[in-house]
Amino acid sequence: MARGQRKSIEEKITTKQELIEALMTRVESEKRELEELYQEKRLKELEAVEELIEESGLQPDEVAAVLQQYLESREEEAS
């Protein structure tokens, strides 16, 4: 009988190991999907910014200068 119990424990261990491996695979898959969603969100945000720049008629360096000026004025207000 001791042998039957030992096998049962070994089977339980094997089952748990398989379950953990399956869960780890699932977690990695979910992480990849999450990263893809973050990339999609970032792309949409960048597209919105690009559209705004095009509508403004400003050149990218002009937009950068305006943003820099804005950031500097915020820093001065915070001080």
- For 23-54, what is each residue's pLDDT tens digit? 999 999 999 999 999 999 999 999 999 999 99
- Contact of 58 with 66, CB cutoff 8 Å: yes
What predicted TM-score, i.e. pTM, was given to this entire model? 0.65
Orientation of helix 2-56 relative to helix 60-78, angle to 10°: 110
Full 3-state SS string of 8-47: HHHHHHHHHHHHHHHHHHHHHHHHHHHHHHHHHHHHHHHH
61-75 pLDDT, tens digit per residue, is: 999 999 999 999 999
